Amino acid sequence: MVFNMNSLAPYSRSSIIYDVDFKKNEIIIAQPLIPFSKDTSFKELDLTTIIQDKNRRIRVGIKCCRYKMIDRYALANKTIVSAVLLTYELPVKETNIRSAFRLPVNTKYIIKGKLLYGNLEYFTPRDFSIRDISLTGLGLVIPKKRNKNLNSLLELKINEEIMVGIILVNVSQNKPVGTLPVKTQIIRINSNYSDTHSLVGLKILNLGKEKETILNGFIHDAQIDELKRLSGRNL
């Protein structure tokens, strides 16, 4: 799901589909990790997915106009879960998301990194941490001080290009899922993220098909693991 796709700050939440009523244009989905509530508000809501179209992958989606929470929804195996009923509008369209699904790092699927800036190397978790990642970019959280001194990474500037080495780790496996050296561009800096940290948004410039496949698989596996916990069943 993508909220406020055409705004300056779109955000996404992952879920799975429980049921579809094509006559009524209704879809029932699992409550996402950050659930819908009576206070949930948005200007736009799109349901999207990525499909293979000839020689490229495209993201397609449908607009949703209403939602209703279902506190007790019975799955086929009789498990009772929380769900959301969405009313959608056709047609299905190719969509352009400014911020593709960003996987938040958790305790099972973690991301280690090395950053090259000003001829110096910086490492996680000492100098920065990777907050989230997608096929198009990643978010860095940078402590403003290291050992009572200002962190040199605070000198990063918008539009600068930097090399980042990414190690994708599933802690249940004996070796990393993948190691990806990528060229990135700084597109966003929030120095007021907190009193002690800044947030930096990077755009990935040269992922390539092979690296994209590895990263996409890592994100997919992490999403499935998250959704298992949400639905309380095996997928």
Taking only the tens place, the pLDDT of each residue in 180-201 is 999 999 999 999 889 999 999 9
Q: Count how many Cα atoms sit within 13 Å of the Cα of residue 112 in the half-sphere of its side chain.
A: 11
pLDDT value at 149 more than 70: yes
**What's the count of helices (H) and strands (E) in the chain, helices before strands?**
1, 17
**pLDDT of res. 235:** 44
Select the CATH number that applies to the domain covering 103-226 from these four: 2.40.10.220, 3.40.50.300, 1.20.1440.230, 2.40.170.20: 2.40.10.220
Q: From CA 121, how far away is CA 113, in angstroms rounded?
A: 10
Q: Which residue ranges make up each domain of the chain? A: 2-94, 103-226
pLDDT value at 234 more than 60: no
**pLDDT of res. 227:** 62
Instruction: Give the mean model confidence (pLDDT) for residues 28-36.
Output: 90
**pLDDT class of 162 with cuts at 50, 70, 90:** very high
Q: Which residues contact 183 (CB under 8 A, 6 or more apart)?
A: 161, 162, 163, 164, 204, 205, 206
Mean pLDDT of the chain: 86
**pLDDT of res. 121:** 95
Share of the chain above pLDDT 70, in %: 89
95 touches 126 (CB < 8 A): no
pLDDT value at 11 more than 80: no
Q: Count how many Cα atoms sit within 13 Å of the Cα of residue 87 in the half-sphere of its side chain.
A: 5
Specify the higher pLDDT residue, 201 or 208: 201
Structure tokens at 153: 């990474």
Q: From CA 91, how far away is CA 78, in angstroms rounded?
A: 33
Q: Each residue of 48-86: pLDDT tens digit?
A: 887 777 766 677 889 999 999 999 999 989 999 999 999
Q: Each residue of 87-130: pLDDT tens digit?
A: 999 999 877 554 445 677 777 889 999 999 988 999 999 999 99
Q: From CA 146, how far away is CA 193, in angstroms rounded?
A: 17
Three-state DSSP state, 202: strand
